[in-house]
Structure 1
């Protein structure tokens, strides 16, 4: 195990991401991250300067998608893959959306809010690019903003409503298997709504 202050920036990001898998963002503090990484809080401040900067860096690390480039290949296949990837991301980091909504989107300074806004606008542009690349061949005409909201909202529900859902299921339910089934169902459901029918 590394000694105090032997952990670098990546180790601190990994420790923060690990905490965000199990506890709400409000409980992820600099001292708690330092304890998780076995370092002093001053090292966390040295690398990131503030809690908001640390949390924003974790969001950047977890949501590594490059949506600036046009999708390669068939747009419908790319959309289905993106939906599946979004569900997997939310499963891997269930508190990430709460972090962005509850804290970073309202954070000071303005640069943090602007960065969160930019991340989400990149996703909306990704959907716009997909729809344009398809040119109405396979996918229905859709507002990229609504598509963004639908994919993100539906992907997040299984995690955010976890206690409610678990209360509806038998105690021995395999939650990983359930999540796999939900992911497949969600891709099929959203793609069914996005694909043109013979009548179109």
Structure 2
């Protein structure tokens, strides 16, 4: 009978429409997974499972997993962007930017690892250029602080080196948490410890970059 054979589904959207799983749901699911898992484990199947849809939706909306990860990285990068300052106290602005970097690494856990892993495996010029542009933002911000520092409150420093130092210092407290937990008492409040660490890093960097009176005389 003509009605006895199942109809083949075409190449359009997978039959998850009724579940409400769309482009934004997949992006949200990917971000949630990246908070808990390294990028290698954030597969199309894992993303679809987290979103409650079909893995084919990743291909339907983004073409492939790499494009989805690129979109997620773009979103996170845009949220953290700050233009170089044109006014204000450079020392205070530096302290505020250090705190902003810590907030970014907490809200986008595994983001740095995502960029590195994808750069290592991608052949996409768009991905490489996007990562370059996102990482130029903080470098340009630090360079802007130097231009703003017309009274010489800060010592001379390399903006690239400062960016690498702040990212490394802030990111490891998030990604290296299992190691840190081994080094502190079992009943340690890790959120409180994170705040203490952030304050310590701010003092460390500001004290190191603030020009001393004897330096100003030379």
Q: Tell me if both proteins adopt one fold, taking TM over 0.5 as the criterion.
A: yes
- Superposed, 1:26-105 pairs within 5 Å as 26-63=40-77, 64-104=79-119
- TM-score (norm. length: structure 2): 0.83
Contact conserved, 1:75 with 1:133, CA < 8 A, in 2? yes
Partner residue in 2 for 1:140:
155
- TM-score (norm. length: structure 1): 0.90
Are the structure 2 counterparts of residues 32 and 72 from structure 1 closer, same or farther at C-alpha, using a change threshold of 3 Å? farther
Counterpart-to-counterpart distance in 1, 2:18 and 2:209: 52
**RMSD in angstroms over aligned alpha carbons?**
2.0
* Matched positions, count: 199
Q: Summarize deviations over 1:67-99 as a string: whole Å, max 9, x none.
A: 345354222212111111111221222211111
Q: Which one of 211, 214, 217 corresponds to residue 196 of structure 1?
A: 211
Are the structure 2 counterparts of residues 175 and 71 from structure 1 closer, same or farther at C-alpha, using a change threshold of 3 Å? farther
Unaligned runs of 5+ in 2: 1-15
Contact conserved, 1:123 with 1:148, CA < 8 A, in 2? yes
Unaligned runs of 5+ in 1: none
